[in-house]
């Protein structure tokens, strides 16, 4: 069978990944920066940032001068590899052989797979459109060799599918950078006037080796198929899954409950041996009529308590329709969490968030009213109040910074709302304000507390916050954006105190 490879290139991998997690970044010019030899340089730039003139490798200071209002985000080490791995695991549905091509690509061995999608063109179109729909600016190419597929995906403007045996013609017109050479070799080729790969294919190998070393010959051989290249294949993680077939179809609630309990005992025994606990689990019921029904539960923190998990699934049994009967039960832990071994004493009481009874109570409440109704917030390292809190991922997540000691309102509006204000002196607290057509006369006021913008995030006016109390006893958090004598100062309501 003829070998065929697909190379997928993500032109803005890190920035697309950030915009996927933070939708407010999609319409902004932003970059990911890292420190290199005591210089802060751009390691990834969004499409908007590149259009404005900020590029990978540019010093951050130069980029900020070229692009006013450029947003800079610090690079997290290993983030690209982690993101590529997640995308690669998703691509296993198209081929079992997927490999990471760091720092910004994937390499797929698609031999014998494309016909399932109606041919290589439809196969490539399906994968690229799926990735672009997920928010990634992706390009792909197919060829007989990994080197040719890599080169065409990144440097060819047309014909992403290279016919069998035509890799030499496909790469001949491309620049030497398409051979995956080291920067030193590329610089030497540029000085000698090699603008395309074609002249290199006609020079004797001995001359190329003597002038450029073995690296250039290796890359040419890999691109043309003369040197074999191997892939380090991604392996799907082994799922925590248990199966329970039934001798007779089960239709009753007691029978389903017994099946769930037996599955949980087997699953929790495996998890406990590896120090893990269930965070999210799903029960799949295969009926004798060929249909499948499923229910799922989630927990506030990892647990391998069979009794607790059984109570959560019991709340979902009413959603299972057995019809003529269920012949196979499958229990799978979709998400797990590392659990700490705690030394327990019968006379010691658990307190606070470490109380297991509290976590189990929250799980039961979530099973009745929905998990989205229970939220826990942690402080975030941001000056701007609307960005100074974040949603905790679990009950055990610890804050990275301390809560501010200054008074903050119980309820903070997600977006400050404009108000009309009258002040006796421009830089003094307001004497009254009008919000949504209602006039509030202020009896007491405290402030101002000045909060400036983070210079590395965005630019704009500072804010002067006041805690005010109106004549009816209601307390509000107001701020003036900009300096009082700047001519463009505006007032906003940002929160309510109890």
Q: Taking the CA of residue 393 as centre, how many other CA atoms within 13 Å lie in the half-sphere pointing to its CB?
A: 9
Note whether 6 and 107 are within 8 A (CB): yes
Secondary structure tally for the chain: helices H, strands E: 14, 20
* Pairing state between β 389-391 and 463-470: unpaired
Note whether 113 and 95 are within 8 A (CB): yes
| Band of residue 379 on the pLDDT scale cut at 50, 70, 90 | confident
pLDDT at 463 over 90: no
| Band of residue 216 on the pLDDT scale cut at 50, 70, 90 | very high
Burial class (CB in 10 A: 0-12, 13-18, 19+), 431: middle
Cβ-based neighbour number of residue 288 at 10 Å: 14
Angle at 277 between CA 272 and CA 280, to 5 degrees: 140
pLDDT digits (tens, 9 = 90+) for 393-409: 887 788 888 887 778 88
Cis, peptide link before residue 339, omega less than 30° from 0:
no
pLDDT at 97 over 70: yes
Cis, peptide link before residue 257, omega less than 30° from 0:
no
Residue by residue, DSSP assigns 321-356 as --TT-EEEEEEEEEEEEE-------TTPPP-GGG-H
pLDDT at 215 over 80: yes
Domains of the chain by start residue, with CATH: 1-237 (3.30.70.270), 240-368 (3.30.1490.100), 375-498 (no CATH)
pLDDT at 146 over 50: yes
pLDDT digits (tens, 9 = 90+) for 298-351: 998 889 899 999 999 999 999 999 989 999 999 999 899 888 765 444 334 556
pLDDT digits (tens, 9 = 90+) for 79-95: 999 999 999 999 999 99
pLDDT digits (tens, 9 = 90+) for 246-269: 989 999 999 999 999 999 999 999
Cα gap 166→211, rounded to integer Å: 27
Mean pLDDT of all residues belonging to the chain: 88
Our measurement of the distance from residue 386's CA atom to the centroid of its chain's CA atoms, rounded to an integer in Å, reads 21
Spatial CA neighbour of 153 closest among 161, 162, 141? 141
Indicate the DSSP class of residue 211: H
pLDDT value at residue 434: 93
Average pLDDT over residues 400-428: 83
* Pairing state between β 240-250 and 326-338: antiparallel
Indicate the DSSP class of residue 70: -
Q: Taking the CA of residue 376 as centre, how many other CA atoms within 13 Å lie in the half-sphere pointing to its CB?
A: 13
Bridge partners (DSSP) listed for residue 40: 35
Share of the chain above pLDDT 90, in %: 50
Residues 6+ apart with CB under 8 A from 153: 7, 8, 9, 105, 139, 140, 141, 160
């Amino acid at each position: 069978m003829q070998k065929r490879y697909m190379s997928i290139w993500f032109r803005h991998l890190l920035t697309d990944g950030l915009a996927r997690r933070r939708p407010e970044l999609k319409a902004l010019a932003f970059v990911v920066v890292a420190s290199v030899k005591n210089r802060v340089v751009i390691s990834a730039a969004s499409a908007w940032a590149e259009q404005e003139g900020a590029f990978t490798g540019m010093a951050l200071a130069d980029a900020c001068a070229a692009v006013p209002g450029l947003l800079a985000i610090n690079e997290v080490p290993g983030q690209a590899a982690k993101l590529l791995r997640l995308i690669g695991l998703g691509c296993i549905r198209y081929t079992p052989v997927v490999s990471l091509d760091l720092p910004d690509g994937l390499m797929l061995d698609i031999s014998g797979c494309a016909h399932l999608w109606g041919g290589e063109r439809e196969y490539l179109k399906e994968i690229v459109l799926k990735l672009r729909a997920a928010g990634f600016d992706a390009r792909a190419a197919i060829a007989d060799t990994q080197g040719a597929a890599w080169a065409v995906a990144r440097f060819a403007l047309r014909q992403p599918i290279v016919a069998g045996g035509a890799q030499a013609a496909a790469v001949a017109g491309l620049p030497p950078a398409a051979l995956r050479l080291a920067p030193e070799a590329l610089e030497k080729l540029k000085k000698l006037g090699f603008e395309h790969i074609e002249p290199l294919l006609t020079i004797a190998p001995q001359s190329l080796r003597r002038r450029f070393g073995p690296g250039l010959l290796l890359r040419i051989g890999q691109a043309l198929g003369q040197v074999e290249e191997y892939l380090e294949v991604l392996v799907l993680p082994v799922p925590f899954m248990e199966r329970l077939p039934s001798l007779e179809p089960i239709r009753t609630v007691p029978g389903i409950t017994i099946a769930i309990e037996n599955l949980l005992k087997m699953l929790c025994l495996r998890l406990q041996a590896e120090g893990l606990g269930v965070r999210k689990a799903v029960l799949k019921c295969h009926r004798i009529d060929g249909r499948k029904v499923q229910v799922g539960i989630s927990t506030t923190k990892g647990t391998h308590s069979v009794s607790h998990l059984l109570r959560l699934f019991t709340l979902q049994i009413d959603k299972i329709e057995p019809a003529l009967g269920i012949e196979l039960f499958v229990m799978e832990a979709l998400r797990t969490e590392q659990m700490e071994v705690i030394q327990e004493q019968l006379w010691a009481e658990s307190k606070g968030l470490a109380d297991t009874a509290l976590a189990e109570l929250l799980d039961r409440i979530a099973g009745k009213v929905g998990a989205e109704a229970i939220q826990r917030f942690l402080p975030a390292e941001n000056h701007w109040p609307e960005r100074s809190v974040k949603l905790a991922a679990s009950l055990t997540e610890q804050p990275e910074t301390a809560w501010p000691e200054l008074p903050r309102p119980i309820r903070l509006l997600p977006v400050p709302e404009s108000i009309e204000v009258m002040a006796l002196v421009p830089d003094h607290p307001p004497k009254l304000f009008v919000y949504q057509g209602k006039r509030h006369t202020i009896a007491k006021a405290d402030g101002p507390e000045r909060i400036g913008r983070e210079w590395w995030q965005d630019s704009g006016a500072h804010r002067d916050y006041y805690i005010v109390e109106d004549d009816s006893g209601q307390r509000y958090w107001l701020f003036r954006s900009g300096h009082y004598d700047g001519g463009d100062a505006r007032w906003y309501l940002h929160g309510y105190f109890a």
